Amino acid sequence: MPRILLPPLLARHPFALGDGLDDGLSEKRLRGSDLAAPHSGVRVARSAESALEHAGELYLPLLRPDEVFSHTTAASIWGLPLPLAVSPVVHVTRFGEQRPRRPAVVGHRSSRRLATTIVGGLPVVEPLVAWAQCAAVLRLDDLVAMGDALAGRWSPHAAARELPLGLPARAADDWGRRRGRRRLEEALGLVRPDVWSPRETALRLVILRAGLPEPPERNAVICDAAGSVVGHADLVWRDERVLAEYEGDQHRTDRRQWRLDLAKYEAYADEGWRVVRVTDDDLVAPARLVRRIARLLTDRAVLC
C-alpha cells in the first residue's frame, strides 16, 4: 500500500504528534520510517530535517507560551559565533517557578519576564541577554568572541550587530550576581569593535596575554603613498609599520584568494610594512609568533 503523503505544512516543518493526528494521520503513519523524532512528541520529515538551520526549530512545536529559546540556542539563532564543541542541546527558559524538563533540553527558569523577540519564527531572548546567559556555559575566550560579534558586523540580524560597547556593559550590570557574572565582567573588558572573525579575537587575546602592546587598530585600511587602498589588515600597529593577518585554509585552497594575497603582501612590503601571517598552528602554540611580533615591534620602534 502506498504511504500516505504528509500535508504540505507538516512536510516542511517539525510538528507535534497531536497536530498530525488532527490532520488525519494515524499513529502508525506517525511511526513511519520517513519521519524522525528529534524530541518526544515531535516529528519531522527526514528530507526537511537536514535543511533546518537551528536545533530550536525541532523543539518549537513543544514550546509553551511562557517559554523562550535562550543561552547558546538563542545565540545560534541570532547568528553569533559559538565554539564547534558546544553541546547541541536546546536551551529553553520558562518564566515562572519551574524549569522545562525534557530529554535533550536544558531547562532554565526566570523569575521575571525577559525581553524577547521573534527571529525566523522562533521566540528568543534579546541578543545581549543571550550573551549574558552564555557566560554560565562558555569559556572566557568564546564569550569575548561573541561580544566582539555584537560590537561588529557578523550577525545577519541588525539587532545583534554593531552595538555600542555601552550596551554590553549595561547588560553585564543587569545580569546582577547570577552565575557567570565574574566571567562576564572579564569578557566585557576584552571586547573590541571592528573585529571580523572569532580567529581574529583569538589572535588578539594571544597578543594581550603575552604582554605585547595591544594593536590600536583592527581591520584597518592600509593605503599606498598615493592614497590608494591596498587592503584591510586584521591587526595594525601603524606607528611601527607592523601588521598581523590571520589566514584560514581558504587563503591556501582558493586560487583567486591566494593570488590576491600575494599581490597585497607585495604592496604592503613596498610601503614599508612588515607582515606577520598567522595560522591556526600559531594560535595553538604561539611562542614563535609572540617572539616574532615582539621583535618586529621593538625593531620598528627603534627605527621610528
Q: What is the pLDDT along the chain (304 residues), one digit of tens a residue?
A: 456 666 665 665 677 777 777 666 777 777 777 777 666 677 777 554 443 345 567 788 888 899 999 999 999 889 899 887 676 678 999 998 788 888 778 899 988 888 899 998 889 999 999 999 999 999 999 999 999 999 998 888 999 999 998 888 888 888 877 888 899 999 999 999 999 999 999 999 999 999 999 999 999 999 988 899 999 999 999 999 999 999 876 666 777 877 888 888 999 999 999 999 999 899 999 999 999 999 999 986 555 4
Going from N- to C-terminal start, the domains of the chain cover 8-52, 64-188, 198-303
Whether the pTM exceeds 0.85: the reply is no
- Phi and psi dihedrals of 292, rounded to 5? -65, -45
Hey, what CATH topology would domain 198-303 get?
Endonuclease; Chain A (3.40.960)
For β-strands 274-278 and 242-246, DSSP reports them as: parallel
Alpha helix (H) residue ranges in 54-126:
56-59, 71-77
Q: CB neighbours of 184 closer than 8 A, spacing ≥ 6?
A: 132, 135, 143, 172, 175
The C-alpha angle 69, 74, 79, rounded to 5 degrees, equals: 150
